[in-house]
Amino acid sequence: MRMTPMRRLAGAIASLFLLLVVAVGGLVIFLLGTTPGQDLVRSRAEMALANLMGPRFVTRLGEQTYQLRRDGSLAVTWSDVSMAPKEDPSARSEIDHFGVAVRLVPLISGGGLEFGRFEVSGARIDLNSLILPPTEDARELAPPEVAAPNAEAVEADPPRTLLARTAGGILQNVERHLGVLRSFHFDTVAFNDISITGIPRLDGSGDELHVDFAELRRSDVGALQLVTRFDLDGLPVSMAGDAEFSEETGLLSRLNLGSGRIQVADVFPPAPEEDTFDERPFGADFPLELSIGMSRASAGAPLQADASVRLGKGALQLGLNRTEVEAVELNLRYRSDTEEIELLASPMAFRDVSFTALGTIEAAPAGQGLSLDRLAFRLRTQDLTSTVGSGGEHHGKLAVSGIFDPGARHLELSEGRLETEEGVLSASAEFGYGAPDAMTRLDVSSERMGVASVKAFWPFNIAGRARHWVISHMGDAALATNARIRIDARLDRLDSAFGKLGTARPDEFTIDLDIDNADLSTVGSLPGLYNANGRLETRGSTTRVMVADAMVDGLPEITLSDSTVELSKPRTGYRRDLLVDLSIKAAGSVPQLLDIAARPPLNALRALDIEPREASGTGSVAANARLRVGRYVEPSNQLLNWAVEARIDGASPGSPIEGRRFEGMIGSFSIKPGLVTGRFDARMDSIPSTVDLSIPFGEERTGSRRIAVAMQMNDERVSQVVPALAGIINGDFTLNAELSDGPTRLSADLTNSALQIPTVAWSKGKGVAASLKLSMVETGDATRLDDIRLEGEGFSAVGSAVTDKAGLRSADLSQLALNSGDKARLKARRTDAGYAIDVSGEKFDARAILQDLKSTAGQDRTGKRARGSLDIVANVDRLGGFNGVALQNFAMNYASRNGRLTGLSLSGIAGDGQIAGDLSKRNGQDAISLSSANVGALLAFSGLYANMKSGGALLELSGTTDSGYAGRLQLRDFTLVDEPRLERIVGSTPVQGQSSLSQALGQDLRTSQAYFDQASAQLSYAGGALRVSNGIVRGPVFGSSFEGQLYDRQSRIDITGSFMPAYGINRVFGALPLVGQILGNGNEGGLIGITYRLSGPFGSPTLTVNPISLIAPGIFRQIFSYE
């Protein structure tokens, strides 16, 4: 069959393909199946690896395997690859995987063995192998089959510093890799899972950088692209870029790498802004961009490397300190000929601070190998601007210079200078970290600096809490002078002193500065200060702001002096808390001082119901408070302790204290949690008093309640305080009252006071020792008086009583002695209309009562009458009276209404005779009856008359208080003994030359024992006067008729009468009809008699005798009688 041209062409192609397959298969068999083929591949791979790693390394390949890839290349890989420096073969490092991709097309076409891809993974490479040695020439032998660069194109001087050697080493490695790409026709050099070790740290140890992957890709036209991803201290960074190399020299002419936007928050997120207690060491949410550029103008030109870091807007957190990044650039440039890093203009803007940083970092060699260079730095900014504070923008200049010697492990800041619009700040410092006793020192000083500048340029991450306090509490007008900040600490103390929970010692950290004309806010609701002058001191972890003098905002009448605010760290509990100790001393008006004391956190008036604006006077206050503020401290628990000491002068609280009003207070108070104490002089309820008080208050009370008051009393004040005692206590005395949690104790020394109880006619004169003590307890609506004890010379009273708003409710005096020897008991209780009183006892001296009745007979006793009803029951075994006479078994029932007697019964024994008395109602009138079987003893008992012995008596009266009383008194069988007035009547010689009555009768009239068998008289009582009529006294020897006024309202007596001797005979004439009317004096008048008059005070009347009546007939006797 004839073949067509198309079939012949197809056959040729198939034959060619078959031939190609056979050829490829043969080559593969040659490379894979024969020893020479395998050796060829191994040797070419080892040569490429050696050129890639550099001449300082010796490499060894392990087991070899093959794999045909999808892209048509043949992959040859080796495992157990080792690599070691020539100078130290023992320092071998392993490579997990090394491989090359063999291109088959060049191999078939006769182009030789070419590799398309070069791979290294799982390797650990020492940084020292990648940098230039300090004494080695920068030139290096070119790898085989690569032409050596022109000698004139290589820098002549070897690099001296680690900085230069590192830059040169990196450059040489990049250029070497390019040479491998070119000589072996690689299109890609790939590194995976590479760890670069031995990166030097400041403490001398080595760090490690992990590279996930890095690739150099070369295109067909010679363009070079770089892609890498590595881990930067936990932050994954990916970078990509391109490079250009000189085709003639093989040297790098340009390299650019950029990272794109890196989100730092993905790895190091900051805490929420409101979480002010989070203290993670680093957190940020700003985007980060890195860029690196390297260039060389020509083969002989120096290398220039630029690095740039750019931060976008976001938060920055360093521990507890925070700020906001607006935009930050850090631009660095390195030139190999100068061996220094230049800080190019780097604008940096934060939330409230911005500046452009400039400077240089000059390196000098400090040792061999990886010894870090000694760096001399000079940094500056000319446009430092801050808006911290409230005064707008603040401008300044900052310059720092020093030397960092990593080999000596020493950093020195030789000069630091901050120039602001308000002053200059200078600083020097050093930091050593080579040994435990290496020192860290800082010395910052300024002769004059405005606080506005201090606040404006205080770095946010240095002493953040102190900075926050100054910014929050101090105004911008203050001036800081003589300022100095010092740090002096050993290396082994730095963490303990300045670490996370460190506490610096006083000699390790100090701040001193004087503050003039400051305005300062305090804590809580306490008022701010202005025109403050003082000092700030920091010793260790304690900062103290001391105010020498200041004015108080809003309280112009207050001045401050010697006050402090102290900030410190707690020794127990959560160490991040802050202790705030306040000590405030203020003086001025009391209303404004109380205003301060009443504000939180002091709340010193919580125990007293006082309104500050109602107070008056002046005083001074020293207030102290300790607070603990922190993340886990609730606001209600922040106040740990507080105390207020106050001194007042002429002050008045304006509101009652314990129910009393105080004025003109002079003294002191102390108020602490749970307790108020004080001592002061004042007018308490208008009474001059001295008060010593202790009053617990609040939920956690301390101590016991005690209020001691010493009141200076007089007549007027007694009437004001206790109206019921008006007229009872006269004179000045001190009344002491002590109030406590138990009963209130009252006591008084009444020695210099006069006491008078009119109702019982008892009194004590001034100078007679006496004291009163009692206890008082408030029980609901009543007041109980216990342990009443009145003691004096010859008198006492012991018992208890109950009072209320209406007065005395009840009383129980278990011991009552108004006179020496009394043994009585008194009980009293209030009834619906008055009081009921029960008096009982063994002995009671009634002389004072009797004397009062006698001396005030007839006088108006309205003021002494009890209002309402009064019921008295008395039972006394022995009721003492005058003249040594006592009533035995005395019993009395007395009843009155509104001072009027409504019922009376009494009984007893006077001498050997029974007495009985009774008052009862008969036909609407009072019927009074009093009888005595020994009237002489009764009269002697009463003190009315002591010269009568024995005798019976009956008194009967009837009437009413309004109309008066009338009745009759009858006496029988009594004797007058040694009556001097009777003797005077009988024995007196009225006129010179005349005889006495005894002489006229011619017989001796004996008066020492004058017996009378009968006496009677008509009595009438009205208007306070008691009158006697038809009074007759009869006896075997004497007789008398009398009439007149026994007493009137002035307690005066005026009685006239006739005295007749031999009455038994003489009265016969008077009894005769008509004759008696002429010769005698009526039926009871005698023929012979003498008239007399008894007048004057009831207790001591005067007797007057008319002598003419001795010779006048009875009918004429009335002519000469006294009217």
Rounded Cα gap, residues 523 and 544, in angstroms: 15
pLDDT band at 199 (very low <50, low <70, confident <90, very high): confident
Classify residue 981 as left (phi > 0), alpha (psi -120 to 50) or beta.
alpha
Q: Please answer whether residues 320 and 280 qualify as being in contact, where contact means their C-beta atoms are separated by less than 8 angstroms.
A: no
Chain centroid to Cα 898, Å, comes to: 60
Closest C-alpha to 318, from 458, 431, 464: 464
| C-alpha neighbours within 13 Å on the C-beta side of residue 143 | 26
Cβ count near 991 (within 10 Å): 9
Residues 1054-1113 have pLDDT tens digits of 998 887 765 444 544 455 554 454 444 455 444 556 778 889 887 788 888 775 454 345
Closest C-alpha to 950, from 1029, 1012, 868, 893: 1012
Q: Which of 220-224, 457-461, 571-575, 676-680 has the highest mean pLDDT?
A: 676-680
| C-alpha neighbours within 13 Å on the C-beta side of residue 739 | 14
Three-state DSSP class for 532?
Answer: strand
Rounded Cα gap, residues 289 and 8, in angstroms: 65
Kindly provide the residue ranges of all beta strands, DSSP E only, lying in 104-200, ordered along the sequence: 114-126, 188-200
Token digits for 1014? 């009968």
pLDDT band at 140 (very low <50, low <70, confident <90, very high): very low
pLDDT band at 1115 (very low <50, low <70, confident <90, very high): very low
Q: Which of 306-320, 363-377, 993-1007 has the highest mean pLDDT?
A: 306-320
> 1097: cis peptide before it, omega within 30°?
no
Cβ count near 77 (within 10 Å): 20
pLDDT at 575: 79
Q: Please answer whether residues 441 and 432 qualify as being in contact, where contact means their C-beta atoms are separated by less than 8 angstroms.
A: no
Residues 910-951 have pLDDT tens digits of 988 999 999 888 888 888 899 999 999 988 888 888 889 999
pLDDT band at 136 (very low <50, low <70, confident <90, very high): very low
Percentage of the chain lying above the pLDDT 70 cut: 79
**Domain boundaries, given as residue ranges, for the chain:** 32-248, 259-340, 709-946, 978-1120
Q: What is the DSSP letter of 174?
A: H
Q: What is the DSSP letter of 156?
A: S
Q: Please answer whether residues 836 and 829 qualify as being in contact, where contact means their C-beta atoms are separated by less than 8 angstroms.
A: yes
DSSP state string for 967-984 = EEEEEEEEEEES-HHHHH
pLDDT at 690: 95
pLDDT at 152: 41
Rounded Cα gap, residues 515 and 1059, in angstroms: 112
pLDDT at 841: 92
Token digits for 821? 């020897």
Kindly provide the residue ranges of all beta strands, DSSP E only, lying in 336-409, ordered along the sequence: 340-350, 353-364, 374-386, 394-405
Q: What is the DSSP letter of 173?
A: H
For residues 426-433, give the mean pLDDT.
93
pLDDT at 856: 59
Q: Is the pLDDT of residue 412 over 90?
A: yes
Rounded to the nearest integer, the mean pLDDT of the chain is 80
- The residue assigned the tokens 């060389």 is 296
Residues 855-903 have pLDDT tens digits of 655 555 555 555 678 888 999 999 998 898 999 999 999 888 877 778 8
665 CB-contact burial (10 Å; exposed 0-12 / middle 13-18 / buried 19+): buried
Percentage of the chain lying above the pLDDT 90 cut: 26
Q: Please answer whether residues 153 and 251 qualify as being in contact, where contact means their C-beta atoms are separated by less than 8 angstroms.
A: yes
